[in-house]
Structure 1
Amino acid sequence: MFNKDRLRIAKELRGLSNPEFAEKLGCSTSKVKQLLDVEREISENDQAIICKTLNLPLSFFTTEDTPKLLETDQVFYRSVARIKAQYRKSNEAYMLLAVEINKYLTKKFKLPVFHRPDLDVTESLGESHYAERMASELRSLWSLGNQPINNILSLCELKGIRVFRLPLEVKEIDALSFFDDESGSPFMFINNFKSAERTRFDCAHELGHVVMHTHNKHIRDEKDNRILETEADQFASEFLMPTDGFRATAPRYLSLDSMIKYKKTWRTSLKAINYKAHKLGYISDWVNRSNSMKINSLGYNINEPEETHRDESVMLPKIIGLLATQPDFDKQKMLNEIGISEYDFNELTFDSLTKLDVQKKKPKLRIVE
């Protein structure tokens, strides 16, 4: 049976309205409505056209179970009000694919298990210095000291957080996270279209949500959401740049030029360094405002000066590499079992299959006698 609910999800995944879907299929809008009608069957020919048009295997549509889309208030967005419904629905459909990938991989391997850190999380919103204290305590629990974090994305993976890439390059959706009750794992999604420094901050921001906010299931309004977002930003700043470590290593004179050099220590943005320096009293209110205006005028708020290297997923490419060593491994069989295209799999898993193919094509050195 061709699952009509899954067809609707697939249409949302590609961000298509009924007229847009009809245009891609080369048919009328009324025909699309017939395809979506649960009472009508879809011919094998139409099924093949739909699969090709939406770039999804037939197995995606013939799976009996219908995954339930997440409720919007289950997901930590920066600002729901600023996100077009089309983008939000598409992202939430991609989340379902990520959950399916995780289900498949956990059947094959014993992945790191998430253990909620033993932190004194509070039910109240906006408590002074709460986020910074949580970041400091988590660093202590994870034995990170006051040193810079080399690869925060890999660190999150190691702690049982499932990290995926968001395929859509939508500036209103920097990153997002949610807790999957079925698997007991937090999921984190980050974008790679911003600078490496901003992506590291996004990862730390979502980690803040995971450890501080996912225990609380109450429905959030826009005011609550703003408070939680501020707390996640404060957490990220302290987690990436612990105050004691910042004080111990900061240059005596913090000009913009010296900040550009100093930001390489923590691999954070120039804007984040300026914010931290002002918060700790290293620069005055006037210098902070002046620096902020100069950062914006030079375009450094978008194009990071002397950008650092990008943090990479370690777990996903390694798992796919291990899968590929098994005698019965078949890439297409895996994709069909998950119900995903190779393109979508690569988009979500940081090009893990592409990297696998590159490794296979590397020439082997031989000694010629």
Structure 2
Amino acid sequence: MCNSARLRIAKELRGLSNIDFAEKLGCSISKVKQLLDVDKEINDNDQLEISSTLNLPMSFFMRNDTQPHETDQIFYRSVARIKAQHKKSNEAYTLLAVNINKYLTQKVKLPSFQRPDLDITECLGQHKYAEYLASELRGLWALGNQPINNVVSLCELKGIRVFRLPTEIKEIDALSFFDDETGSPFIFLNTFKSAERARFDCAHELGHIVMHTHNKKIRVEKDNRVLETEADQFSSEFLMPTDAFFATAPRYLSLENMIEYKKVWRTSLKAINYKAHKLGLISDWVNRSNLMKINSLGFNINEPEETHRDESLMLPKIMSVLASHPSFDKNKMLDEIGISEDDFNQLTFDSLAKIDIPKKKSKLYILE
């Protein structure tokens, strides 16, 4: 039977209001309300129509084992600015990502998350708390002071599940949460912004995972703006260690030199300017002047000389291994997860699209 609760989640996944859903189905709003009524059964014809319209397999509607993570469980950059419809859509995608993770962990051994051995309790409230922890984590993970080649892949190797957000909503750069059921942290990146911004966002969410998920009271006791500021400070130091930044920065930091220098750390021009100002390498006046020029040239929207994008290395490799097995059936996998091929590719950095799935040879029989 089609699960009406799952139908509601599917509608939210596609960001549809009841009116939008009625238009897509070609029916009345009262019919939609009947379909969403948990006490009423949905007939077979309606089930097939809904499945086709929402581009979700029937198996999605039959399951009831997992629910989307709710707003208070998720780290958003600015909760107040995000429309409820957009939050619901992204939270529905967390359900699909968790189901993908469950499927993959049954098939292959994925890196498990081990919480870094950082004495966070002693650092709370201290000056430069976030920067200190970022530096400590770099040492713990043996990263030295060198630029991080692929921050997404690094997180994956440390047992953090990284997915791509299919929705291009400017108010949502990224989000993260800790899944208690699987013991895995999840990061979701929105990749419609620059590659440099996506790197910063990934390190920002890593900061949340390291600093703010060990104790749930932190979410209650601290203002969201404080948490976000700490995550920004963590990200800046994690991607651009202060000692190395000082050692390698050009003697004269003009805006043109900064555009060239940002290629070392693969961070945004604004991030380089902010770090240089914070460390006293440029004056208040130069900082303000640079920001005005960055905005006037449109570099705050379109990053100058954009770097290559960090993407998942693990997910395409896993899919390549699975697809190489003679018994692998792509449609069976998607049906087990309860996801469309398009949603799977969107979430997993096009991992299915990047591999060649061998076609099964048809069996020939001799007719007598």
Superposition map of 1:135-214 within 5 A: 135-214=134-213
1:52 is matched with 52
Whole-angstrom CA distance in 1 between matches of 2:94 and 2:217: 21
How far did residue 40 of structure 1 move?
1.6
2:31 is matched with 31
Whole-angstrom CA distance in 1 between matches of 2:246 and 2:136: 18
Do structure 1's residue 19 and structure 2's residue 19 form an aligned pair?
yes
User: CA offsets per residue over residues 151-196 of structure 1, 9 Å max, x none?
Assistant: 0000000000000000000010000000000110000000110111
User: How many percent identity over aligned positions?
Assistant: 78
1:2 is matched with 2
Superposition map of 1:93-172 within 5 A: 93-122=92-121, 127-172=126-171
Whole-angstrom CA distance in 2 between matches of 1:31 and 1:67: 27
Equivalent AA in structure 1 for residue 97 of structure 2: A
Structure 1 unaligned blocks of 5 or more: 362-369
Contact 1:178–1:186 (CA<8 Å) still a contact in 2? yes
Do structure 1's residue 339 and structure 2's residue 338 form an aligned pair?
yes
Equivalent AA in structure 2 for residue 42 of structure 1: I
Q: TM-score, normalised by structure 1?
A: 0.95
Secondary structure, counterpart of 1:300 in structure 2: coil
Contact 1:263–1:269 (CA<8 Å) still a contact in 2? yes
How far did residue 126 of structure 1 move?
5.0
Equivalent AA in structure 1 for residue 353 of structure 2: T
Number of paired residues? 359
Structure 1 segments of 4+ aligned residues over 6 angstroms from their partners: none
| Compared CA separation, residues 345 and 303, structure 1 to 2 (3 A) | same
2:364 is matched with none
How far did residue 220 of structure 1 move?
3.6
Whole-angstrom CA distance in 2 between matches of 1:222 and 1:213: 11
Whole-angstrom CA distance in 2 between matches of 1:125 and 1:25: 53
User: CA offsets per residue over residues 116-135 of structure 1, 9 Å max, x none?
Assistant: 00111138865320000000
Q: Which has the larger displacement, 232-241 or 218-227? A: 218-227
The two structures, once aligned, show a CA RMSD in angstroms of: 1.5
| Compared CA separation, residues 124 and 220, structure 1 to 2 (3 A) | farther
Whole-angstrom CA distance in 2 between matches of 1:115 and 1:87: 32
1:252 is matched with 251
| Compared CA separation, residues 342 and 283, structure 1 to 2 (3 A) | same
Whole-angstrom CA distance in 2 between matches of 1:209 and 1:341: 30
| Compared CA separation, residues 123 and 19, structure 1 to 2 (3 A) | farther
Do structure 1's residue 323 and structure 2's residue 305 form an aligned pair?
no
Contact 1:123–1:216 (CA<8 Å) still a contact in 2? no
Whole-angstrom CA distance in 1 between matches of 2:108 and 2:62: 26
How far did residue 222 of structure 1 move?
10
Contact 1:148–1:266 (CA<8 Å) still a contact in 2? yes
2:363 is matched with none
| Compared CA separation, residues 123 and 6, structure 1 to 2 (3 A) | farther
How far did residue 216 of structure 1 move?
2.1
1:289 is matched with 288
Contact 1:13–1:91 (CA<8 Å) still a contact in 2? yes
Contact 1:77–1:176 (CA<8 Å) still a contact in 2? yes
Secondary structure, counterpart of 1:122 in structure 2: helix
How far did residue 209 of structure 1 move?
0.4
1:239 is matched with 238
Do structure 1's residue 61 and structure 2's residue 61 form an aligned pair?
yes
Equivalent AA in structure 2 for residue 155 of structure 1: L
Secondary structure, counterpart of 2:253 in structure 1: coil
Whole-angstrom CA distance in 2 between matches of 1:242 and 1:221: 30
Q: Which has the larger displacement, 221-230 or 268-277? A: 221-230
Structure 2 unaligned blocks of 5 or more: 360-368
